[in-house]
Amino acid sequence: MQRSTGLLLVSALALSTAACGSGSEPATPTAGGAKAVSITVACQPAKSAPKERQAWDDDVATFMKAHPGVTVKSTDQQPCFDPKTFGPKLAGGQMETAFVVPVTNYNDVISKGQALDITPYTSVIKNWNDLRPDHKELVTKDGKVYGVPNVHYSVGLVYNRALFTKAGLNPDAPPKTWAEVREAAKKIAGLGPGYVGYGEYSGGNTGGWHFTQAIYGRGGDILTPDNKKAAFNSPEGKAVLQTLHDMRWVDNSMGTKLLVGWESLMVAMGSGKVGMMLGAPDVVTDVVNKFKGNVADYGITGFPEAKASLSGGEAFMINPKATPEEAKAALEWIDFRFNTVGKGRFDFARGKSLGNPVGVPDNAVYGDSPTGQAIQADRVKNASLPVSNYETYVQAAGTIPPKAEPLHAQELYAILDVAMSGVLSRKDASIDQLLADAETKANSVLAAKG
């Protein structure tokens, strides 16, 4: 889940396939005899990011010039995947021809027939064979392919190097343990009013999402191995909440504002007043591009004391109502904008000229394949910030085992939000009771799921 992609109430996906629609008009012949095709595509940058939006629009123009007869219409919903609108868009027939789905919801979307079988078209993605096999497997069911993997990430500790320096901490030696996180957070909070040493979510499903990140790092689980029962009411789960309680109420290093929803903590991080937060490298990109953070201020390191790291991602899927011509055109767009070295999102030279934080190791969907190596070489060549700021994260990511989000993730995250909010809003909150209540609710949901 990202950050920018990741929160979906799974119940919204129970809508029928018949409700889907690509929103495209019937194809008609062009002057040259080929069919005119109109497609809608998700993820146009918002108006609040004018340079990135212009780059997107430029790419649309370039693509349409190279594909006569194809019209691309963009939607600028940010983040690209919004749990509040996904279900209604399906129900109202307003889903884009090409839309984004987080990894937690691949199975739901595919099993309910809400994504097109694109097996006949995978060759449109020229570097298809270089995409990581484990990610392609996630969008494959019964031998049929239903999506193009677009993002892969693992969680680390994002931190503000400028605040570390200001607080007398060494930005080149970020915390490796939770005890060190606490000490660093206290020093940053001690800089004065408005400074927050460590930021954390408490609602909007993001609280439960970050709880999952933290418990995975400590070696715990959200569910039992058979996915039938909750497993978070454990020593590891209690340690997560106890650490947050102590930072909030003993150290006074977390501020007093409850942060609900993905954007809230990103805004705070972009203000330059928050020292640390859990997140993947794309947090840095979003903080700079969308929330006015200073590109030189941020770094990311490995997850403290990590026994595992939450990994996640997203894929582009095609509306099942798309015609063959629409599906092919949408995949050609996805190939151009999201999967071509030196073009679209991988045009790092352009990104650098726009002031984007080029150099952040924010996507490993191509792994160490030839395409992945070419992307990384171009990223380093055009880096606009010290690549060394991310070296400890890169080293850790190569050694810490990745761990996927739990089954029924969004429903469980909503339940765990309550525990996160409780410990951050009430000094006398009982950690044992919070976890016990969450366990009861989670088991009830799991029993209903069968």
Q: How far apart are CA 101 and CA 318, in angstroms?
A: 10
Mean pLDDT of the chain: 88
Residues 368-393, mean pLDDT to the nearest whole number: 90
User: For position 34, what pLDDT does the model report?
Assistant: 57
> Per residue in 136-156, pLDDT tens?
998 999 999 999 999 888 899
> Of the given ranges (55-69, 248-262, 356-370), which has the lowest mean pLDDT?
356-370
Residues 252-262, mean pLDDT to the nearest whole number: 91
The pair of three-digit structure tokens given for residue 197, joined into one six-digit string: 């040493």
> Per residue in 32-58, pLDDT tens?
445 799 999 999 998 988 999 999 999
User: For position 255, what pLDDT does the model report?
Assistant: 95
**What is the pTM assigned to this prediction?**
0.71
Q: Which residues have CB under 8 Å from 1's CB, separation 6+?
A: 7, 102, 103, 104, 209, 312, 405, 409
Residue 400, burial from CB neighbour count under 10 angstroms (0-12, 13-18, 19+):
buried
Phi and psi angles of residue 202, each rounded to the nearest 5 degrees, phi first:
-135, 5
Exposure of 224 in the CB half-sphere (CA atoms within 13 A)? 8
**pLDDT greater than 90 at residue 31:** no
CB of 286 closer than 8 Å to CB of 363: no
Look up residue 442 and give its DSSP letter.
H
Q: Comparing 318 with 409, which gets the higher pLDDT?
A: 318
User: For position 409, what pLDDT does the model report?
Assistant: 87
Residues 71-99, mean pLDDT to the nearest whole number: 84
> Per residue in 196-220, pLDDT tens?
999 999 999 999 999 999 999 999 9
pLDDT over 90 percentage in the chain = 66
User: For position 402, what pLDDT does the model report?
Assistant: 80
**pLDDT greater than 60 at residue 28:** no
Most confident of 69-78, 305-314, 318-327: 318-327
Q: Which residues have CB under 8 Å from 373's CB, separation 6+?
A: none
